[in-house]
Structure 1
Amino acid sequence: MTAHVDSAVGFGGQQPKAVRKALVMLEAVAHLGPGATAKEIARFAGVAPTTAYRMLNLLVADGFLVRVPDLSGFALGRRTAELSRAAVAADPSPTLHDTVEDLRSHTRFGLHVASFAGGRLRFVDQDPDHEIVGIALLAKNLHANALGKVMLAHNPALGVGLELRRLTEHTVCDPELLRVELSRAELAGHAFENQECRLGRSALAVPIRNHAAEVVGGLCLQGSPLRVSPTDLEQLRFLHEGSRRLTGLL
């Protein structure tokens, strides 16, 4: 009996490995975010570059992915969004955004969530009432912000060869001082930023883990240097409880 293959679909019934690879690549784009390049997607998904390019073209043709306007990378497409909406409608469990919004209703500070997927700092849920000024600086200067320090503390390899640029008079640019601070951050379970990326802004951040206890992102509380402090036990309890509630949602 001959298996039927729909000519309108890029992957047929005799290609289970191809289907699995395509799904992993969709997952890679979801984690890496809009603008992920073919090389980044291939590396994240563990797929050979030549296979990745072929798969990406098929996924774009079928509407599961789209190319970003400058054609430098990819983003999730209309059909993937439709699947996501259907899954949310069918699953009554809390989403990351719903949980973060509930947390925001219990604090006067800015509360942001970032993903660390692929070794990149990418904000996935920004507080609409507390804009992150200079957001591009955070991803490029991991040593100078609380979320970046959480990344470095739990993935030291990211710090190899890292340029310790001085952004303000408070930026920690000494490699040994930074190493000590990151070791303390890993042990304490939180990192602190005191006007190191931008004057007038301080922040506390804690790791967010998946169900395998791996650090996959961070939860950041941001505010005035006079009001955000690593010695404020109430703020720390709030962040750690928030992180616990976000386990497995990122």
Structure 2
Amino acid sequence: MTAHVPIRSAETPFGGRQPHAVQKALGMLEAVAQLGPGTTAKEIAAFAGVPPATAYRMLNLLVADGYLVRVPDLSGFALGRRTAELAQAAAESTPSESLHDVMEDLRGCTRFGLHVASFAGSRLRFVDQDPDHEIVAITTLSKSLHANAIGKLMLAHVPGVGPDAELRRLTEFTMCERESLARELREIVSFGYAKECQETRLGRAALAVPIRDSSSFVVGGLYLHGSAAKVQPDPDLVRFLVDGSARLTGLL
């Protein structure tokens, strides 16, 4: 393993005796990070607020220690290997959010029930349910995709998945006309969300937005439900769901 040589040295006039040497060195690294490869010594000195003579000496040390490198034509500087190693170590030490972590945070921002469903294998399955807002008759959602927001979202986005041959009527509000359903599925793709209002269960309304994987394929949905009198597709609620689903990208 290559030994790392510290920046501070007893032979460096400003290293240990100048109180703000470390801050100035970090400021110079930040200058290159902000201004980009090829940043000149003069630009670095101005950005970091370091006198030019001091900047030249510190730049030489930062280059010698691998925190900066000179660009091929020697006109300026770029970040070096040691800086890249520090950045990578910092990224690896920051734990990424899990799906459940994100959902717990989102649930703290709404009074409605909030759930995550997966469409894996062309099958509707809830993988993260709100413990404080149970979905009554949850199995009905997967059996009657045409009658609920998350089911319609799946019909609209998952190739090869179609409604049942018979569109069963669950309430007086259930959509049972195929032409009307086909039109609504097109609107779901266009508007970015699906809705239901008392179509599966009287008194219940819901909204659903797609959750995508890292390749932008729809792999599930974020499903919000509550009282039919309170859950409406107003812009603020839809935006909350869209922003929430963006945080779940690649986590399902």
TM-score range, shorter chain: 0.5 to 0.7
The partner residue of 1:246 within 242, 245, 248 is 248
Shift of 1:91: 8.0
Shift of 1:161: 4.8
Distance in 1, matches of 2:223 and 2:117, equals 8
Give the alignment's TM-score, normalised by structure 1.
0.62
CA-based RMSD of the aligned residues comes to: 1.4
The partner residue of 2:99 within 90, 96, 99 is 96
The partner residue of 1:195 within 195, 198, 220 is 198
Counterpart contact for 2:155–2:163, Cα < 8 Å: no
1:233 aligns with 2:240: no
Cα distance change of structure 1 residues 97 and 171 upon mapping to structure 2, 3 Å threshold = same
Pairing of 1:36-115 with structure 2 (within 5 A): 92-115=95-118
1:206 aligns with 2:243: no
Shift of 1:128: 0.5
1:158 aligns with 2:161: yes
Stretches of 4+ aligned residues off by more than 6 angstroms: none
Distance in 1, matches of 2:121 and 2:188, equals 21
Percentage identity across paired residues of the two chains: 64
SS in 2 for 1:157: coil
Please name the residue that 1:132 is paired with: 135
Give the alignment's TM-score, normalised by structure 2.
0.62
1:118 aligns with 2:147: no
SS in 1 for 2:152: helix
Distance in 1, matches of 2:204 and 2:238, equals 17
| Higher alpha-carbon deviation: 152-161 or 211-220 | 152-161
The structure that has the greater radius of gyration is 2
One-letter amino acid of the counterpart of residue 102, structure 1: D
Shift of 1:156: 4.9
Shift of 1:92: 1.6
Cα distance change of structure 1 residues 174 and 108 upon mapping to structure 2, 3 Å threshold = same
Please name the residue that 2:151 is paired with: 148
Number of residue pairs the alignment of both structures matches: 160
SS in 1 for 2:161: helix
- CA shift digits 1:167-224 (9 cap, x unpaired): 0000000000000000001110100011101111000000000000000000011011
One-letter amino acid of the counterpart of residue 197, structure 1: T
Unaligned runs of 5+ in 2: 1-92
Cα distance change of structure 1 residues 158 and 129 upon mapping to structure 2, 3 Å threshold = same
Shift of 1:163: 2.8
Distance in 1, matches of 2:250 and 2:165, equals 29
Please name the residue that 2:32 is paired with: none
1:167 aligns with 2:170: yes
1:224 aligns with 2:193: no
Cα distance change of structure 1 residues 244 and 229 upon mapping to structure 2, 3 Å threshold = same
